[in-house]
Structure 1
Amino acid sequence: MIQVLIVEDDPMVAELNKRYLSQVEGFCLAGIAGNGAEALTFLENNVVDLILLDLYMPNIDGMKLLNSVRSACHEVDVIMVTAARDTRSIQQALRQGVVDYLIKPFEFERFSAALSDYKERTRLIDESEVLDQVEIDRQILAKSERAQGELPKGLDRETLALIFEHIKQSAAPFSTEEMAQQVGVSRVSLRKYLKFLASIGILEGKLTYRAVGRPIHLYKYTLKELAF
């Protein structure tokens, strides 16, 4: 089992990440740290394979913690989970070797994909002494079909174009259910397209909490044109 430390100062977000983590096979919650100091103490006394790290925290923020983790030579990987989307923060995190970067709010599918990809990379490295270029590209560097201008598996251009036309006509933020009704496709199918459009910057997502019931994920068109 991959031991995971969640570092998050917002108890509600930490609990959400905990629930998400429990739904991904092969991962185990090692602990939750509410700030950078707690995280460093936890790392000194516990086995941790992966950190889910927030950036915005008081005193020792995520970037400072990441620097301290690297300076102390802790053999641990990091996935950044943060609302920070400015290029400077992203570049700094990548230079410090984060294996993925999730921008809040995100859907479970993106969270699950990040952990599943990490688990597969870890398995491949643990079970192999040498790797060929194809394995490095696909499993380690996660170079996808999108690099060649192709859509992810399971998506087609005609449906994508149809969904995009409806999105452009939507002036207000919309939910997956609302857009599914407009387009005439299932919510499960539409969710895959919305996830893809968000990953390439066409959509911005926001998790909205309601007085009762589960929070709802709303999407907003960024006015960026679709290049596929």
Structure 2
Amino acid sequence: MTATSDKTGTIDVLVVDDDFMVARVHRAFVERVEPFRVVGVAHTGAQAIEAVDELRPDLILLDLYLPDLFGLDVIPRLRTAGHDCDVMVISAAQEADTVRGAVRRGVVDYLLKPFEFEDLRPRLERYAAQRGRLLTAVVRGQADVDRVLAGAFVPAPAHTLPKGMSVETAALVERALREADGTLSATECAALTGVSRVSARRYLEYFHGTGSAEVSLRYGAAGRPERRYAWRV
């Protein structure tokens, strides 16, 4: 854990993850987005509580599968201690009960692992914008309250294909995913659809970004893990 400084205008973040390498990656992701800075890293629930006492972060990126505590159980302990920092869950846990529990505990967002930088960045930017509205809000009546809260309940926009992507190819990739017996790699998807591996990967990542497909990692003997995709039922 590192100490915080007196720098103003930043959003201080504590990264909590039991995996040292994953925590390092998440730290690097956060520090690529302004005005965020990582002021500390913790690997257990107890370390997280101690770090919040010491560093007073604005936001916690909280993994749920910690060696000593379930991540959601950290939140009420922080509230009992008087800490009002926001919490964004970063976890592979996708059970409905867990997601509901996170919502009940007031988390500001919930991002499933594994994810890429482009999955995290818009969530951080959205959080920063909403936090800015809350910090500068002047409330004189119901209309002001409605304007402040509106940012917290912005509906997800309808998904439209990015420039350079075609409806026909998207349909081919979607069909390959739906009909696959298990998961597909970008190479396998390319072979099934007749498009290049690069194009297949782009469409697969698009479906992952919209929440239509899920990603898992397959680790081999060496090199980077292979990303594999499956259509969400």
TM-score, length basis structure 2: 0.79
Q: CA deviation at 1:191?
A: 2.1
Which of these two proteins has the greater Rg computed from alpha carbons? 2
Q: Deviations over 1:204-225 (max 9, x none)?
A: 2112334433333211234x2x
| Separation (CA, whole Å) in 2 of partners of 1:143 and 1:135 | 15
Matches within 5 A, 1:109-148: 109-130=118-139, 131=144, 133=146, 136-137=149-150, 139-145=151-157
The runs of 5 or more residues in structure 1 that have no matched partner are none
Partner of residue 151, structure 1: 159
Partner of residue 44, structure 2: 35
| Separation (CA, whole Å) in 2 of partners of 1:158 and 1:134 | 40
Deviating above 6 A after TM superposition, structure 1's stretches of 4 or more consecutive aligned residues are none
Task: Say yes or no: does 1:184 pair with 2:195.
Answer: yes
> 2:216–2:227: 8 Å Cα contact kept in structure 1?
yes
Percent of pairs with identical residues? 32
| Separation (CA, whole Å) in 1 of partners of 2:108 and 2:166 | 28
> 2:59–2:88: 8 Å Cα contact kept in structure 1?
yes
> 1:81–1:102: 8 Å Cα contact kept in structure 2?
yes
Distance 1:180 1:66, change over 3 A: farther
Greater mean alpha carbon deviation, residues 203-212 or residues 157-166: 157-166
Q: CA deviation at 1:132?
A: 6.8
Matches within 5 A, 1:1-228: 1-130=10-139, 131=144, 133=146, 136-137=149-150, 139-145=151-157, 150-152=158-160, 154=162, 160-176=170-186, 178-179=188-189, 182=193, 184=195, 186=199, 187-188=201-202, 190-196=204-210, 199=211, 202-222=212-232, 224=233
Greater mean alpha carbon deviation, residues 57-66 or residues 73-82: 57-66
Q: Deviations over 1:29-77 (max 9, x none)?
A: 1101111111111111112010011111122221211111122231200
Distance 1:84 1:172, change over 3 A: closer
SS at match of 2:100: helix
> 1:162–1:183: 8 Å Cα contact kept in structure 2?
no
Number of aligned pairs? 214
> 2:63–2:90: 8 Å Cα contact kept in structure 1?
yes
Distance 1:97 1:159, change over 3 A: farther
> 2:134–2:148: 8 Å Cα contact kept in structure 1?
no
Q: Report the RMSD for the aligned CA atoms in angstroms.
A: 2.7
Q: CA deviation at 1:81?
A: 1.0
Distance 1:218 1:23, change over 3 A: farther
Distance 1:77 1:88, change over 3 A: same
The runs of 5 or more residues in structure 2 that have no matched partner are 1-9
TM-score, length basis structure 1: 0.80
Q: CA deviation at 1:14?
A: 1.1
